[in-house]
Structures are given as C-alpha cells and as structure tokens.
Structure 1
Amino acid sequence: MVFVPAARPPQHYELVHEWTLESPSDVSRLRSEIAERAIATGDWDAEAPEVLDRLVLVCSELSSNALIHARPPVCASLQASPSRFLVDVSDDVLGTSPVLAHQPDEGGLGLALTSALASSSGWYVEGGRKHVWATFIKRAGAARAPVEKVDVSRL
C-alpha cells in the first residue's frame, strides 16, 4: 500500500469558493463551476489552459472519491494565492487514510492522478473532517514543465 503523505497545505491562501456535494450530480456542477471561479480570479495565465484542466480533473476525482467512500455531505473549496491554486476536499470518515491504488480495479486512481498532476498534495484531519488537498502552479513556465506520464495499470 502506498499512502498519500499526511501534511497540511501551504498557508496564505484566500478562499475563492466553497461547494457542498450531496450526490454525483453535484460533482458535475462543481466541474463546470470551478474553472469559472478560477478564471474569475483574474490571476492565472490564459496561455496555460492545462492548469485549469488539471485543477478541474483533480477536484472532480477527489470529490467523486469522497462521495463513494464517505457519507455526504462532501465539502470542496477553491483557494488562491498569488502563484497557486489550492483545491481542498473534505469528508467525515476519519478511520481511513488515503491510499494510492496499485491496480485499476482497486479504485483510488483519483489519488494517483492527483499525485501526477498537482504541484503538491497531501491530507490532514481537522474539525472532525478528513481533508485531501492539491496545489497547482498558475504560471505558464511552471505549468508547461513536462509532466511524467503515468501508466495507471502499473500503480
């Protein structure tokens, strides 16, 4: 088993928006709204659209995982700093640690995608909720750095 690192996210982020998710249809709404909210900050590089693609995919995967493995409501938030976005997804199931899947049929591939696509990620417990978070660099120079392709069948 490969555990996601237990760590708090970096500080100095400002809340952009929060979502409460009760069902898979709420994840669809989140997917469409999170990119709009990130763009609305006016503080991202329009020449690096892959930043938003990564952010949307990771937030969607983490939210779906939480809805599958925890009880609703799941909370998701988008936060921003001058150089990064932070996605935080929380649920109330405290008895398990996030684990990366080894095989596609084991589930947990959302965490593998998060590890591959985010600048940094981790999890922590606070206020009776387990939080899984990921950060994304906003600028084109950093966002366009090559991303190692992940063969999920070998995880």
Structure 2
Amino acid sequence: MTGQAAESLWPSSSPPAAEQLLQWQLADVAELPAMRGRVRRVLQPTVDSDALDQIILALDEMASNALRHGGVGPVEASIRTTDTGYLVEVSDSAAARPPTPAVDRDPSQGGLGLYLIARMALRHGWYASARAKHVWALLPRS
C-alpha cells in the first residue's frame, strides 16, 4: 500500500476532546484478556452489548497491533468519553510508522483489524508526538 493510500484509509488527525474513563500501561499481549475483562465490568451496566463489543474489539485490535509492531517501549491504551461516543486510543513508540492496513492479503492471515475499526468508527485517525504514535477511533454510544 502506498503512503497516500494508507493515509486515505487511516488519516493523520488529532482526536476530539474527551474525558478519561479507563487507562492501561501494557507490556505483553498476555495482558489483553484482563484489559477486556475490566472494560466489560466497567461499561456493561451502561453500554448496550453491540456498542460494548465494538469498543472491546477496537481496543483489543489496536493494543495488540501496538504490542506486536510498535517498537520497543511502553504501550498505553485508554478509553475516554465524548458527547457522541467512546474514544479508544493506543500509543506506542513507533512514532515514524503510521498505522498501515493490510492490502492484498488472504483474510485468513489476519491484518484486517484496522479496516474493521474504520468501518465501525464515527471518526478515526492517528498522530505522532515527540516520542509516540497515537492511533484512535471514536465509536458510537449505541
């Protein structure tokens, strides 16, 4: 995929302002089941099941991508709230590498998570700070 094609699918942009709800520092994919469980415990009473599944899917996909491909260093993940939805954001130390959805790959080989997130999200994007890449998706409340 060319840089321009990746940019059109996952644009470089800042996320909307949002209020912190949940946050994690992750070092290994083995931590992801506990993260998913915490999201279910906190959000299940107030979020419908379809929206909750989408939040967990996006968070899990973005966090696992960061842990597998994000270079050396900490991975931070968070869920924040806005008036219209839930902002899922994950950062890793690969500030120079934008998120790149898989192209021309057999779906059985994986790599389609960014496509799924883009289709579910109200808005999505990524930006780089001095030391990190931040990938985000704003998911609807219901």
TM-score range, shorter-chain basis? Answer: 0.7 to 0.9
Is this contact kept in 1: 2:95–2:129, CA < 8 A?
no
Once the two structures are superposed, the pairs formed by residues 107-118 of structure 1 within 5 Å of their partners are: 108-118=111-121
1:74 corresponds in structure 2 to 75
Q: 2:21 aligns with which of 16, 19, 23?
A: 16
Q: How much has 1:37 moved relative to structure 2?
A: 2.8
Partner SS, residue 117 of structure 2: helix
Q: Could you tell me the percent identity over the aligned residues? A: 33
1:22: Cα distance to partner? 0.5
Deviation at 1:105, TM superposition (A): 6.7
CA separation of 1:30 and 1:9: change in aligned 2, threshold 3 A: same
* 2:136 paired with 1:130: no
Where do residues 1-155 of structure 1 align in structure 2 (5 Å cutoff)?
Answer: 1=1, 2-3=5-6, 4-11=10-17, 13-39=18-44, 42=46, 44=47, 48-70=48-70, 71-102=72-103, 103=105, 104=107, 108-138=111-141, 143=142
Quote the offset at 1:31 in angstroms.
Answer: 1.2
Contact 1:99 1:108 in 2 (8 A): no
Q: Which residue of 2 aligns with 1:153?
A: none
Residue identity opposite 2:120 in structure 1: L
Letter in 2 for 1:74: V
TM-score, length-scaled by structure 1: 0.77
Unaligned runs of 5+ in 1: 144-155
Question: TM-score, normalising length from structure 2?
Answer: 0.84
Confirm or deny: 8 A CA contact 1:118 1:136 kept in the other structure: yes
Unaligned runs of 5+ in 2: none
Deviations 1:55-98 (CA, angstroms, capped at 9, x unpaired): 00010000000000022421000101233110000001122111
How far is the alpha carbon of 1:39 from its aligned partner? 3.9
SS in 1 for 2:134: strand
Secondary structure at 1:100 match in 2: coil
Q: State the aligned residue count.
A: 133
